[in-house]
Amino acid sequence: MNMITRHGETTDLTITNAVGTAKAIPLSDFASAILLVPAGATAATLTFHVSDEQDGTFLPFQAYDVTASTTVAVTGGIAKELPPQLFAAEWLKITASAVGATVAWKISCKA
């Protein structure tokens, strides 16, 4: 039986409320991802920012059919799918509306 394998990568993140201090995540090799929110994370609304360059200007992401930035509400102890429209971008940064104690978040991307 032939099995198809998919490239995957998991990256550690520290979520902040400032785009300038957020980690740039490469998306060009991936088609989907989940954000692994640790149990100790403060509930927050996440905002996504995209750029065509790792060190470029990161703009708030808006899906084609809305007039506001795309946001996702999260609570601790869940795995949250990232909006599929984000994977048209080369680079992603994630910021949060509220930042509590520093806890290790992870993002798991799949090709």
User: What are the pLDDT digits (tens) for 48-101?
Assistant: 999 999 999 999 998 887 776 778 888 889 999 988 889 999 999 998 887 655
Residue whose pair of structure tokens reads 């088609």 in the numeric block? 31
pLDDT at 102: 55
- Residue 80: Cβ within 10 Å count: 16
Model-level pTM?
0.84
pLDDT at 51: 96
Give CA angle at 100 (106, 108), nearest 5°: 10
Cα atoms in the 13 Å half-sphere on the side-chain side of 79: 7
- 33 near 107, Cβ under 8 Å? yes
pLDDT at 33: 93
pLDDT digits (tens, 9 = 90+) for 1-47: 677 777 788 888 888 888 998 899 999 999 999 999 888 787 778 89
- Residue 67: Cβ within 10 Å count: 6
- 61 near 89, Cβ under 8 Å? yes
pLDDT at 100: 56
